[in-house]
C-alpha cells in the first residue's frame, strides 16, 4: 500500500457525474482498505460508479456478476476436471496432465488477487446470493487470501483490490456482512444533478429541451401505480430518441404530449397506466 495522499485519489470520470459526498466515501474506503457497499434504487448509478472509479484510477476493472445459484468457489477458482479428463484420454494438448495446477482457473475474485497491478473489483448485486455466500466471501476479502484445496496452495492477493459491492435489496444484509463494509446509499438524483448527468451525455443539448424533458421526466415519476419507475438510463435513452426524431419540437412536451413513452416505461402494465395518466393530464 502506498501512503495516504498518493495519486490514487478518485475524482470522477468522464461519463459519470459524481457528487462530493460519494467521492469522499470512496476515498475513505480506499484508505481504510474496506469494501464499499452501495445501495440505492435501480438507475442511480451503482454499477456505473465502479466503472468510473476504474477509469479515473486507471486500474483494470473486474466484474463479478452475482447469480442466485452461485457458489463462493466459482468466484475464487475452478478446477477444470473435464479438460483434464479429456487431456488424459486424448493427450493432444501441451498441458501436463499430472500437474493439477494447469487445470485450475481463476474466478473473478481470484483474478483480482493474482493480477500484477491493483484492480477495481466490482461485486454486482450481492443480494442475489444467499447469506452464506455473502459472509464467506467477506472472509476471503478480509484475509485477502484463499486456499486451493486440490493442490494445497494458498493464493494471496498481490495487490489489495478496490472493492465495490452493490445491492438492490431494500432488506438489510446480514450484520456481520455490514460490519465489514463501508456503506453508502445513493439517492435518486434530483433535477439539478440529473441536469448535469444529461450534460455529460449530451454536451450539445439545448437548454429548453433539457428543461422540458426533465420537467416531464420527474412528473412521470410521480405517476401513481407504476411498478418500475423510469430511471436515469431510461431518461438518457428517451432524450436520445427525442433528439433523433426530426419531427420532434420542444413545444410538444410543453403542450403536455409525451412521445416515445415506451422508452420510459418497460412494463406493459406501467405503460398503460402512464398512457392513461398522461392523457388525463393533457385535458
Partner 1 sequence: MFVQFFYMLRERGVPVTPTSFLRLQKALSLGVIGSIDDFYTAARSILVKSERYFDTYDQVFAHYFRGATISEMGDVELTDIAKALLEEWLKHPQEMAEALGLDEEQLSRYTPEELIRYFLDRLKEQKEAHHGGNRWIGTGGTSPVGHSGDHPGGMRVGGTSRNKSAVKVAMERRYRDYSQEGPLTEIQMSEALKRLRRMIPHGARDVVNVDKTIYETMRNGGEISIVFDRRLSDRLKVILMIDNGGWSMDPYIGIVQTLFNYARSQFKDLKIYYFHNTLYSSVWLDPQRHLRPEAIEEFTRRDPETRLIIAGDAAMAPYELMGANGAIYVGRKDSQSSEERLKFLARTFRHAVWLNPQTESSWGYTWTIGAIWKIFPMFELTLDGLEKAVQHLMKRH
Residues within the interface to partner 1 (CB under 8 A): 4-5, 19-21, 24-25, 27-29, 31-32, 34, 36-37, 39, 169-172, 175, 178-179, 181-185, 187-193, 222, 225, 227
CB 173 → partner 1: shortest distance, Å?
8
- Asked if residue 41 lies in contact with residue 156, where contact means CB atoms within 8 angstroms, the answer is no
Residue closest to 68 by CA, chosen among 10, 132, 161, 144 = 132
Backbone angles phi, psi at 185, to 5 degrees: -110, 125
Looking at the Cβ atoms of 92 and 190, the one nearer to partner 1 is 190
CB 184 → partner 1: shortest distance, Å?
5
Looking at the Cβ atoms of 5 and 7, the one nearer to partner 1 is 5
CB 251 → partner 1: shortest distance, Å?
27
Helix pair angle (191-201, 207-221), 10° resolution: 130
- Asked if residue 76 lies in contact with residue 109, where contact means CB atoms within 8 angstroms, the answer is yes
CB 205 → partner 1: shortest distance, Å?
20
11 to 49, 92, 153: CA distances (angstroms):
11, 51, 38
Dihedral sign for Cα 123, 126, 129, 133, please: positive
Q: Which three cell numbers stand for residue 120?
A: 477495481
Q: Which three cell numbers stand for residue 143?
A: 484475509
CB 126 → partner 1: shortest distance, Å?
14
Looking at the Cβ atoms of 5 and 91, the one nearer to partner 1 is 5
The one-character DSSP state at 109 is: H
Looking at the Cβ atoms of 8 and 260, the one nearer to partner 1 is 8
Looking at the Cβ atoms of 34 and 106, the one nearer to partner 1 is 34
Amino acid at each position: 500500500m502506498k501512503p495516504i495522499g498518493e495519486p490514487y485519489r478518485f475524482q470522477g470520470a468522464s461519463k459519470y457525474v459524481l457528487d462530493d459526498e460519494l467521492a469522499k466515501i470512496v476515498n475513505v474506503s480506499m484508505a481504510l482498505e474496506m469494501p464499499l457497499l452501495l445501495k440505492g434504487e435501480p438507475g442511480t448509478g451503482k454499477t456505473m460508479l465502479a466503472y468510473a472509479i476504474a477509469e479515473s484510477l486507471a486500474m483494470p476493472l473486474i466484474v463479478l456478476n452475482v447469480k442466485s445459484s452461485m457458489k463462493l468457489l466459482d468466484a475464487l477458482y475452478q478446477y477444470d476436471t473435464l479438460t483434464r479428463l479429456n487431456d488424459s484420454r486424448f493427450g493432444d494438448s501441451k498441458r501436463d496432465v499430472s500437474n493439477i495446477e494447469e487445470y485450475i482457473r481463476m474466478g473473478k475474485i481470484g483474478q483480482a488477487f493474482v493480477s500484477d497491478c491493483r484492480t477495481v473489483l466490482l461485486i454486482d448485486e450481492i443480494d442475489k446470493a444467499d447469506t452464506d455466500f455473502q459472509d464467506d466471501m467477506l472472509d476471503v476479502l478480509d484475509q485477502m487470501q484463499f486456499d486451493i484445496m486440490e493442490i494445497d496452495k494458498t493464493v494471496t492477493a498481490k495487490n489489495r483490490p478496490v472493492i465495490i459491492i452493490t445491492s438492490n435489496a431494500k432488506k438489510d444484509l446480514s450484520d456481520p456482512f455490514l460490519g465489514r463494509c463501508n456503506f453508502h446509499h445513493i439517492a435518486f438524483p434530483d433535477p439539478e444533478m440529473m441536469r448535469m448527468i444529461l450534460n455529460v451525455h449530451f454536451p450539445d443539448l439545448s437548454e429548453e429541451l433539457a428543461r422540458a424533458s426533465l420537467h416531464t421526466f420527474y412528473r412521470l415519476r410521480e405517476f401513481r401505480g407504476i411498478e418500475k419507475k423510469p430511471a436515469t438510463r431510461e431518461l438518457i435513452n428517451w432524450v436520445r430518441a427525442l433528439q433523433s426524431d426530426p419531427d420532434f419540437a420542444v413545444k410538444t412536451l410543453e403542450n403536455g404530449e409525451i412521445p416515445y413513452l415506451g422508452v420510459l416505461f418497460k412494463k406493459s402494465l406501467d405503460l398503460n397506466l402512464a398512457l392513461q395518466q398522461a392523457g388525463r393530464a393533457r385535458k
